[in-house]
Amino acid sequence: MEVFTGSFTQQEPIPEEGIAAALAVLRHGRLHRYNLAPGEAGETALLEEEFAALTGARCCLAVASGGYAMATALRALGVGQGDLVLSNAFTLAPVPGAIAAVGARAVFVGVTRNLTIDLDDLAARIGSSDAKVLLLSHMRGHICDMDALMALCDGAGVKVVEDCAHTMGADWNGTPSGRHGAIGCYSMQTYKHVNAGEGGFLVSDDAAAMARAVLLSGSYMLYDRHRAAPPPEAFEGLKYDTPNISGRMDNLRAAILRPQLPLLAARREGWNARYRRIESALSDLPGLALIARDPREGFVGSSFQFLLPDWTAEAVATLVGNCQMRGVELKWFGAAAPAGFTSTYRDWRYAGGQELPETDRILAGLIDMRLPLTFSPEDCDQIARILRDEIGRLWRRG
């Protein structure tokens, strides 16, 4: 039997330009974003300016992580102790973690077979709760009908924070992901679309919200050193009442990141080529259901998902184990216990219990697989052959 010997977690190297810029920061020693030489803008301020331009946002703030970005966005919109926040049931732990971090409580919304938020369920939960904010996770890069979602939320007075950890460089109907709602949040963690180990962005056109975010991030009274922040007058009514919850980006990580931003379009093309290659190879496989993609969705296929409808838990567990022995690492969202990065709303006891039987039915057969750019086309073909072999063997066995 074929065995895949590549790595599902090996990322591309940092560009040489980023390595050189990082060494320059290390040599001059000014790692803190506000520790600048006379006339120096600083790597972090330049990074924010460049990402704002890339997304078309008026303001951008770079912070320590994607999770910190989401919590800061919620605080900047006034979410606090005991408030209800709507969010996808299908997401990863940092999303409910951000809600819990501000003392709020999550109201989970169901998922569709296309792995996007269920808009009918969202409408029902808006109507049955007093939640005024939706933390929308574009989980694993699947973007819902953003025109319909924004019409629903705008009509109900619900502000939208977009979790774009898996959609940096993606778009809906030509509008960059993160630019539909009040605030867009992104991650620069190693497995995301640009790699700083950890890091996050917030983008918005809302001057008051972004002024709060800058102050929350730990700017002290140095906000005038930002180049992609609101004007100084936006801070005047806020600077004495907004706490410092330090979570700044530093100049070393910013130096590594800046050369990666111009590579996003090419990376998206590379990921999508790998995604489509595996999708095509599995398209006629009995027992497996692919995820439909809306033609308006300009996605980034850095991971691949498929469903095993009506498979027993024992059969899915056997498939995951068999593939692991052959070098193909699969993540299963229907497992009885969380494993590694993979968990579901049932595992987050701090978020409160909810029953979502239709979501449970979908997650029971949901398989997830990373597609790093270090995979060659031949790697993708071999992975697809192993999947076809193992899924076909179990499906025939019944």
pLDDT per residue of the chain (398 residues) written in tens, 0 to 9: 899 999 999 999 999 999 999 999 999 999 999 999 999 999 999 999 999 999 999 999 999 999 999 999 999 999 999 999 999 999 999 999 999 999 999 999 999 999 999 999 999 999 999 899 999 999 999 999 999 999 999 999 999 999 999 999 999 999 999 999 999 999 999 999 999 999 999 999 999 999 999 999 999 999 999 999 999 999 999 999 999 999 999 999 999 999 999 999 999 999 999 999 999 999 999 999 999 999 999 999 999 999 999 999 999 999 999 999 999 999 999 998 999 999 999 999 999 889 999 999 999 999 999 999 999 999 999 999 999 999 999 998 87
Name the β-bridge partners of 234.
none
Structure tokens at 166: 């898996």
DSSP 24: H
Entry pTM: 0.96
Nearest in space to 302 (alpha carbons), one of 257, 263, 343, 269: 269
d(CA 171, CA 238): 33
Spell out a b/e string for 292-313, using b for 16 or more CB atoms within 10 Å of the CB, else e: ebeeebbbbbbbbbbbbeebee
> Domains in the chain and their CATH numbers?
16-262 (3.40.640.10), 265-397 (3.90.1150.10)
Other CB atoms within 10 A of residue 207 CB = 16
Report the SS3 class of residue 106: strand
| DSSP, residue by residue, 270-319 | HHHHHHHHHHHHHTT-TT-EEPP--TTEE---SEEEEE-TT--HHHHHHH
- Angstrom CA distances, 146 to 205, 294, 296, stand at 18, 11, 10
Among 121, 174, 179, 119, which residue's Cα sits nearest to residue 151?
119
Strand intervals (E) in 110-260: 133-137, 159-163, 171-172, 175-176, 183-187, 200-204
CA nearest neighbour of 301 among 395, 373, 212, 379:
373
